[in-house]
């Protein structure tokens, strides 16, 4: 409920426990709850595969991008927060493995894109299997969103 009343059916995991499992080509939706005094217009989260002690240069082009621009205010357990639904598509040619959220940016009027969270402890596990769509001519589906 965006009017600030508590909704017993909603629950944000404040401990960020768990990880989403999906296959290449699947739609990913994630709700991100946060507290911040500035009101952003859009949000973007980037998930990359962690290899060894740093992010591998060969995987920099392969990542999962989630975006959202509908924000709501909520109250749970007497604590107020703002939330945004982030959505994206797992690229069909992405390798199986765990993709950790490297950063979350917010679009702030007058300031542009601002880095607000770095390594927030969120991850997506891409499991093997056939993608749910087919790619041709060497193209990789990065993501899509429907407008209006």
Q: What is the pLDDT of residues 127-143, one digit of tens each?
A: 876 555 556 666 655 55
pTM for this entry: 0.70
- Pairwise pLDDT comparison (110 vs 141), residue with the higher score: 110
pLDDT tens, residue by residue, 56-72: 545 455 789 999 999 98
CATH code for the structural domain at 20-126: 2.60.40
CA distance 90 to 65: 8
Residue 38 tokens, joined? 């500035």
Counted residue by residue, the chain has a size of 148
């Amino acid at each position: 409920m965006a009017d600030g009343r508590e909704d017993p059916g909603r629950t944000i995991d404040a401990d960020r426990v768990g990880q989403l499992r999906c296959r290449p080509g699947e739609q990913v939706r994630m709700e991100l709850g946060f507290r911040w005094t500035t009101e952003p217009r859009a949000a973007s989260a980037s998930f990359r595969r962690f290899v060894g002690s740093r992010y591998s240069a060969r995987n920099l082009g392969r990542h999962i991008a989630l975006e959202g621009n509908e924000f709501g205010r909520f109250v749970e357990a007497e604590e107020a927060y703002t939330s945004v639904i982030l959505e994206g598509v797992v690229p069909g040619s992405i390798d199986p493995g765990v993709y950790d959220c490297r950063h979350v940016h917010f679009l702030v009027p007058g300031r542009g894109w601002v880095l607000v969270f770095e390594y927030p402890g969120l991850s997506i596990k891409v499991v093997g299997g056939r993608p749910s769509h087919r790619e041709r001519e060497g193209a990789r589906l990065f993501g899509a969103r429907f407008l209006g």
